[in-house]
Amino acid sequence: MLELRLVQGSLLKKVMEAIKDLVNDANFDCSATGFSLQAMDSSHVALVALLLRSEGFEHYRCDRNMSMGMNLGNMSKMLKCAGNDDIITIKADDGSDTVTFMFESPTQDKIADFEMKLMDIDSEHLGIPEAEYHAIVRMPSAEFARICKDLSSIGDTVVISVTKEGVKFSTRGDIGTANVVCRQNTTVDKPEESTIIEMNEPVSLTFALRYMNSFTKATPLSNTVTISLSSELPVVVEYKIAEMGYIRFYLAPKIEEDEDETKA
Amino acid sequence: MFSLRSCCVTHSILSHRLTLRTSLILPPLFLSLFPPKPISLQPLYSPKPNPNPRTMSSRPSAFDALMSGARAAASKKKPPTSSSPKKRKNPEPKTPLQNPTHPQAPIDEEAPPSNSNSNSNSNSKPSEEPQVSNGSEKDHPDTDPEPSGDTLAVKKPRLINADESIALLKKKPANFDPKSAAFWNDGERVPFMFLVKVFDAIDKESGRIAITEIVCNMLRTVISTTPDDLLPVVYLLANKIAPAHEGVELGIGDASIIKALAEACGAKESQIKSKYQALGDLGLVAKASRSSQSLMRRPEPLTVAKVFGTFRLIAKESGKDSQEKKKNHIKGLLVAATDCEPQYLIRLLQSKLRIGLAEQTLLAALGQAAVYAEKDSSPPAHIDSPFEEAAKIVKQVYSVIPVYDKIVPALITGGVWNLSKTCSFTPGVPIGPMLSKPTKGVSEILDKFQDMEFTCEYKYDGERAQIHYLENGSVEIYSRNAERNTGKFPDVVVAVSRLKKPSITSFVLDCELVAYDREKRKILPFQTLTTRARKNVAMSDIKVEVCIFAFDILYLNGQQLMQEQLNVRREHLYKSFEEDPGYFQFATAIISNDLEEIQKFLEIAVDSSCEGLIIKTLSKDATYEPSKRSNNWLKLKKDYMESIGDSLDLVPIGAFHGRGKRTGVYGAFLLACYDGSNEEYQSICKIGTGFSEVVLEERSSSLRSKVIPKPKPYYRYGDSLKPDVWFEPTEVWEVKAADLTISPVHRAAIGIVDPNKGISLRFPRLVRVREDKPPEQASSSEMVAEMYSSQKNNQRNNQDDNEED
């Protein structure tokens, strides 16, 4: 028996919007600690990891660990039917092949039940170890989204380099080049508007902007975004979900195209 | 933490060494879209440089790097199992019968690293073990291709690599041990790599016998290890996803493939497109595209079942976003493809495998493989050459029921000798229509059918159709190519249901659907028929009426009639239906062996807007032979006198810009016939006559969208031929010519009549566009050669006659 009651139902809607374009089908894993998801996109370049801790739910009951395979597009269709103030409850029976989403309006005068079929998805769960990163950048999430959007109108890839001066996002396309530098800035009034750069070593990596832009769909979930970089490791783009957990996107870097000798 | 750079140095040194050892095999690997799965990231981190050859040719998967710390620790303890979450082989790593008894098994992963020769490899063994199947670069000097017999009884002591496996497949079938070539364990899904390597081997082979042997050995390997995978293997070899009559298509264009390819290897679409322009084959583009995108984790190696399953999923996607979903399926496959897999994956997706494997060869190989597979049950006593006989049986069964989903399981469970019984004609599944041979004159017919009873029928100029009426009252109409055409002819469905006699509960009718003017009681030309809508036609919208001209019946009230003689079948046909002029008529026929009479009949046929006559044996050698161009059916067309006997169906592959009056359109086209055994188009003539201005305009504009930057590799043409543009092979044109000559310029039927020269047409002119034929069904080079030689005979005869005069 599974029953999860989430008062701020809009949060779940935002989560779906953030990942549904990246991943088609995924397993949601429910355990006593929380509600989580891990999935790779079809080309195995990006990975999304979501955690909503049990403490964040108003009511959380999970008798035994469950893995529910869902088509995210379909799930998103159903969640779109929930109002932004609605309380969402996710229910499933053990061994059942369906999951129920219940939407209650804040005034309790309307209750809607949506039942969705589950599916079998064979996916492997990867253990993600904690790693030390060469550089960690924290910045306003809207700013990051803006940069990615702007750069993608010029080029396909973004080079993110962190130096003492700050973090630089640059791209190159047929029409020209673009560079955006963000300096460390902790003097603003509101802490969520600050840009904080922790750097052990300078690092510079190239990524496909297509994926970055897809990650920024999670912007509504959090005011800040944390970007952790290490050479030869996937970048982690993390959006904290207040009091509940996080959504993390891992993206494998592009390889510098300078090795023509291998073609010989 | 170790810097990556230092490792790379080690790698490149090693790669040199390795390149030397397997120089022929490695280069394609470097070019491959995705190098084999580098599970192990130890090289990046392990204290001593680990010369794992795999990681050299491949990009480290970034996520593995992330996890490598944990992994390295784990793999030190239990090397063979920790590296891959899903192991592909060897669930029981230890068997009592190992190294000691098998000195020839040095690759065994349990081998102690004492073997100094392969020491460097054995270091990396643990991580490499799950992907032996990919390991084209692995090369062990002392591997013995044939494990001794006693080992098979227990367990395979080692698994060979893919290239060794292919080398084994090239053995003579009689000496081939089907277990020896498998580089996976019994019951495991057949790796896609195996199939791809076979494709590659077939592609390099030109002899039909050699190809048959390779395919036969390959199928035996599959039967003996994983019989469940035989069906997908056969389907992929045939480059089909479902029987033709089911109308299941992948429905992907080049654009989707280009997109998927670009996304899968992190390139821009424009880059892929320009490579496509340069290489002219998306398969080669895929092979040449190196990924610039590292991966979170290498996907599992592809299996045949996975690829085929995904193909069927792709075919099923429909509606909104289906192109996007299809693209994602393709991407998923491409990302997992290694070595030369992407190349063939793309070609399969395009349904353009073009490795020179004709379906008939596949069927023959399937039959032979089945004979080997059931060694215990000896063939029926009266059969002398079981292999030829088995091939014949499979071909015959396939012509009656072209459904691998039925044939393959029946072969495995019931064996080949029972196949005709376990797998027979099923109403509702189209039979390959019997075809006729062209002739040039009434006298030739009398010659061929000496002392035989025969009949002449009108050859109507319409669309061949096979109408199935099932017990439950449902009707299906199939085209000449076994495509379901029911939606195009709702009026025919109504007509046959109305005009069958009440006692008839089921039938299969062979007939011609002809455009017909009911008021004037006149047959309309074929061109009128082509103006009918093709899909989901509503009765009320029909503007072009058709009449069914029935000439044969293959199945009646639950009884097969194909083995009956034509006179019997015809009697059944006449008894079972009511004629209704303009709706349903029997093909007009006479029985005569008088030359004058037949000549006259031909003239009447031509006057009634027919193409000519079909002459059929009546009571002897007159069974229905599915899919055969039989000698027992001869066609005599109206204009046999004025030109070569039959028209040819040819494919425009290039064109010359028009000048003067024809400025702005193409002035002349280069035509080709199709050589089925080599799967190539051979140029046969240039054509510029027979076009009205309208037709020329139409053809030019329709072909203009098919222009390709350079000729396909499978076009054969003389060096002196330099058309201004080349086309995709898409259209088929019916062409008439005065006669055939040997030509130094053209390449049709080269090697058949003359070793270095082809055949060309003199004074060719366009008759019409054959919209019912795909380019692969254009006139074959054998047919061209046959026409040429029979023309030569005739000329000689004529000359003889003249001399006598």
Is-contact B251 B245, C-beta < 8 A?
no
**High-pLDDT (> 90) share of chain B, %:** 29
Are residues A103 and A164 both part of a single domain? Answer: no
| Residue A264 within a domain | no
pLDDT category of residue B801 using cuts at 50, 70 and 90: very low
Domain B244-349 adopts which CATH fold?
A: DNA ligase i, domain 1 (1.10.3260)
Indicate whether A5 pLDDT > 90.
yes
| The one-letter amino acid at B443 | S
The CATH number given to B648-795 is 2.40.50.140
pLDDT at B270 (0 to 100)? 85
B-chain CB neighbours of A43 within 8 Å are 263-264, 293, 295, 331-332, 334-335
Dist. CA B516–CA B525, nearest whole Å = 8
Structure tokens at B467: 């109408």
With bands split at pLDDT 50, 70 and 90, how would you rate the model's confidence at B50? very low
Facing residue for A124 by CB, picked from B31, B44, B86: B86
List the single range of A110-119, B325-334, B433-442, B559-568 with lowest mean pLDDT: B433-442
Do the Cβ atoms of B573 and B485 come closer than 8 Å?
A: no
Distance from CA of A201 to the nearest CA of B (A): 13
A15: nearest Cα among A252, A244, A250: A244
Report CB contact under 8 Å: B66, A129.
yes
Residue B80 phi/psi, 5-degree rounding, is -75, -20
Res. B113 pLDDT band, cuts 50 70 90: very low
Is A122 part of a structural domain of the chain? Answer: no
Q: Is the pLDDT of residue B804 over 50?
A: no
Looking at residue B792, what is its pLDDT?
62
Distances (CA, A) of A22 to A29, A49, A138, B84, B390: 18, 12, 23, 25, 51
Lowest mean pLDDT: which of A204-213, B354-363, B412-421, B633-642? B633-642
pLDDT number for residue B74:
41
Output the pLDDT for position B588: 93
Instruction: Among A117, A151, A172, identify where a domain stops.
Output: A117
Cross-chain residue pair A126–B331, CB shorter than 8 Å: no
Mean of the pLDDT values across residues B554-564?
91
Residue A123 lies in a domain: no
List the CATH number of the domain containing A179. Answer: 3.70.10.10
CATH number at B435-637: 3.30.470.30
Residues A253 and A139 in one domain: yes
* Rounded CA separation A137/A227 (Å): 5
Q: What is the pLDDT of residue B794?
A: 56
Instruction: Examine the domain organization and report whether A156 and A105 are in the same domain.
Output: no
Q: Which of A210-214, B519-523, B640-644, B761-765 has the highest mean pLDDT?
A: A210-214
The amino acid present at B60, given as its one-letter code, is P
Closest CA to B84 of B300, B323, B255: B300
**A46/B296 Cβ within 8 A:** yes
Contact B292 A255 (CB under 8 A): yes
Compute φ and ψ for A189, nearest 5 degrees: -65, -45
Calculate the alpha carbon distances from B180 to A117, B197, B332 in Å.
Answer: 46, 16, 31
Could you give the C-alpha distances from B168 to A4, B76, B183, B190, B400, in angstroms and in order?
A: 59, 36, 11, 17, 34
Q: What are phi and psi of A203, to 5 degrees?
A: -145, 145
Measured CA to CA, the distance from residue A30 to residue B105 in angstroms comes to: 47
**Rounded CA gap, B728 and A255, in Å?**
36
CATH 2.40.50.140 domain extents, chain B: 648-795
Read off the pTM.
0.69
Using the predicted structure, report yes or no on whether residue B377 has a pLDDT greater than 90.
Answer: no
Cα–Cα distance between B236 and B193 in angstroms, integer? Answer: 13
For position B489, what pLDDT does the model report? 93
Task: Work out the mean pLDDT of chain B and round it to a whole number.
Answer: 77
pLDDT in tens, A126-135: 777 778 899 9
**Mean pLDDT score, B719-725:** 86
Whether residue A211 is found in the same domain as residue A183 = yes
Is A126 a domain residue? no
B534-559 mean pLDDT: 90
**Which residues of B are part of the catalytic machinery?**
459
Residue B266: list chain A partners with CB under 8 A.
45, 208, 254
* Distance from C-alpha of A81 to C-alpha of B284, rounded to nearest angstrom: 47
Q: Maximum CA pair distance of chain B?
A: 101
Contact A45 B293 (CB under 8 A): yes
**Is there a contact between B62 and A232 if contact means CB atoms under 8 Å apart?**
yes
A158-192 burial by CB neighbour count: b if 16+ within 10 A, else e?
A: bbbbbeeebbbbbbbeeeeebebebebeeeeeeee
**Given A24, A156, A208, which is nearest B328 (Cβ)?**
A24
* Better-predicted residue by pLDDT, A243 or B551: B551
More confident residue, A28 or A43: A28
Q: Which residues of chain B are at the A interface, by a Cβ-Cβ cutoff of 8 Å?
A: 4, 30-31, 44, 59-63, 65-67, 69-70, 85-86, 263-264, 266, 268, 290-299, 325, 328-329, 331-332, 334-335
pLDDT band at B141 (very low <50, low <70, confident <90, very high): very low
What Rg, from alpha-carbon coordinates, does chain A have? Answer: 20
Say if residue B756 is exposed, middle or buried (CB neighbours under 10 Å; 0-12, 13-18, 19+): exposed
Query: Residue B30 in 3-state DSSP?
Result: helix
Are A44 and B66 in contact (CB < 8 Å)? no
Do A21 and A59 belong together in one domain?
yes
Nearest-neighbour CA in chain A from B353: distance (Å): 24
Query: Which tokens hold the place of B156?
Result: 């395979």
Of B292, B298, B332, the CB nearest to A42: B332
Asked whether residue A197 falls in the same domain as residue A101, the answer is: no
Residue B158 has what pLDDT? 54
Integer Cα distance of A74 and A130 in angstroms: 33
Asked whether residue B577 carries a pLDDT value surpassing 50, the answer given is yes
Q: Are residues A151 and A244 in the same domain?
A: yes
Residues A156 and A59 in one domain: no
The answer to whether residues B785 and B750 touch, using CB atoms and an 8 Å cutoff, is no
Count of Cβ atoms closer than 10 Å to residue B382 Cβ:
6
Residue B637's pLDDT is 77
Alpha-carbon distance of B735 to B405, in angstroms, equals 38
* Mean pLDDT, residues B231-251: 91
Mean pLDDT rounded to a whole number for chain A: 90
**Is pLDDT at B27 greater than 90 in this prediction?**
no
Q: Out of B86, B294, B329, name the one closest to residue A252 (CB).
A: B294
What per-residue confidence (pLDDT) applies to B75?
A: 42
Q: What gap in Å lies between CA B119 and CA B131, rounded to an integer?
A: 19
Q: How many contacts (CB atoms, under 8 Å) link A and B?
A: 91
- Whether residue A213 lies inside any domain: the answer is yes
Segments of chain B assigned to CATH 1.10.3260.10? 244-349
A163 and A194: one domain? Answer: yes
Q: Using the beta-carbon criterion (under 8 Å), do A43 and B264 form an inter-chain contact?
A: yes
Residue A198: which pLDDT band, with cuts at 50, 70 and 90?
Answer: very high
What's the pLDDT score for residue B65?
Answer: 53
Residue with structure tokens 């329709």?
B702
CA distance A256 to chain B (A): 7
Write out the two tokens for B343. Answer: 């190349």
pLDDT computed for residue A82 by the predictor: 93
Half-sphere exposure of B784 (CA within 13 A, CB side): 38
Query: Six-digit token pair at B200?
Result: 């590659």
pLDDT band at B594 (very low <50, low <70, confident <90, very high): confident
In a domain, A125, yes or no: no
> Checking DSSP bridges between strand A157-163 and strand A203-208, what pairing results, if any?
antiparallel
Q: Which residues of A touch B65 (CB under 8 A)?
A: 232-233
Asked whether residue A62 is domain-assigned, the answer is yes
Measured between alpha carbons, how far is residue B200 from residues A189, B166, B206, B215, B777 in Å? 67, 9, 12, 12, 25
Q: Compute CA A85 distance to the chain's CA centroid, rounded to the nearest angstrom.
A: 22
Q: How many domains does chain A have?
A: 2
pLDDT category, B376, cuts 50, 70, 90? Answer: low
Q: Name the least confident of A227-241, B153-167, B296-310, B334-348.
A: B153-167
Chain A hits for B86, Cβ within 8 Å: 124
* Residue ranges of A 193-232 with Cβ closer than 8 A to chain B: 208, 210, 231-232
Q: What are phi and psi of A38, to 5 degrees?
A: -140, 130
**Partner-chain contact A250 B296, CB within 8 Å:** yes
- How far is B691 from B219, CA to CA, in rounded Å? 49
Q: Which amino acid is at B783?
A: M
Residue B214 Cα distances to A132, B65, B167, B209, angstroms: 53, 41, 10, 9
What pLDDT sits at residue A257? 58
DSSP notation for chain A: -EEEEES-HHHHHHHHHHHTTT-SEEEEEE-SSEEEEEEE-TTSSEEEEEEEEGGGSSEEEESS-EEEEEEHHHHHHHHTTS-TT-EEEEEE-TT-SEEEEEEE-TTSS-EEEEEEE------PPPP------SEEEEEEHHHHHHHHHHHHTT-SEEEEEEETTEEEEEEE-SS-EEEEEE--B--SSSGGG-BEEEESS-EEEEEEHHHHHHHGGGGGG-SEEEEEE-TTS-EEEEEEETTTEEEEEEEPPBPPS--GGGG-
Residues in chain A with CB shorter than 8 Å from the CB of B328 are 24, 42
CB contact under 8 A, A232 and B60: yes
* More confidently predicted of B641 and A225: A225
Among candidates B690, B688, B673, B702, which has minimal Cα distance to B780? B673
B87 contacts on A by Cβ (under 8 Å): none
CB A49 within 8 A of CB A36: yes
State how far the Cα of B230 lies from the Cα of B178, in Å rounded to an integer.
14
pLDDT tens digits, residue range B453-491?
889 999 998 999 999 999 998 999 999 888 888 999 999
- The 3-state DSSP composition of chain B as helix, strand, coil percent (nearest 5) reads 40, 15, 40
Residues A141 and A238 in one domain: yes
Q: What gap in Å lies between CA B783 and CA B767, rounded to an integer?
A: 19
Q: Which residue has the tokens 């009656």?
A: B400
How far is Cα A256 from Cα A258, in angstroms, rounded to an integer? 6
Shortest distance, CA A47 to any CA of chain B (angstroms): 7
Which of B19, B63, B326 best tests the A interface by mutation, with the highest count of A CBs <10 A?
B63
Q: ∠ CA B421-B426-B430 to the nearest 5 degrees?
A: 125
Q: What is the Cα–Cα distance from B573 to B56, expressed in whole angstroms? A: 71
Q: Which of B6, B37, B290, B294 to mutate to test the interface with A (most CBs of A within 10 A)?
A: B294
Instruction: Based on the fold, state whether residues A60 and A148 are members of the same structural domain.
Output: no
Q: Which residues of B touch A38 (CB under 8 A)?
A: none
Q: Where do the CATH 3.30.470.30 domains begin and end in chain B? A: 435-637
Set of chain A residues whose Cβ sits within 8 Å of the Cβ of B61: 252
Nearest to A232 by CA among B66, B9, B1, B2: B66
Report the chain B residue with the minimal C-alpha distance to residue A254. Answer: B293
Q: Does the pLDDT value for residue B623 go beyond 50? A: yes
Given B30, B67, B85, which is nearest A129 (Cβ)? B67
Choose among B31, B67, B293: nearest Cβ to A263.
Answer: B31
Mean pLDDT of B205-212: 89
Question: Is pLDDT above 70 for B69?
Answer: no
Residues A89, A8 share a domain: yes
Give the domain extent around A225.
135-257
Burial class of residue B391 in the structure, from the number of CB atoms within 10 Å of its CB (0-12 exposed, 13-18 middle, 19+ buried): buried
When pLDDT is averaged across residues A161-186 and rounded to a whole number, the result is 92
Sheet holding A196-199, edge to edge: A66-71, A25-30, A34-40, A46-53, A245-251, A235-241, A224-229, A135-140, A196-199
First to last CA, chain B: 101
Based on C-alpha coordinates, what's the Rg of chain B? Answer: 30
**Phi/psi at A238 (5° precision):** -115, 135
| Closest A-chain CA to B58 | A262
Q: H or E element: which one contains B372?
A: helix B359-373
d(CA B246, CA B243): 6
Q: Burial of B709 by CB count in 10 Å (0-12 exposed, 13-18 middle, 19+ buried)?
A: exposed
Residue B3: its H or E element: none
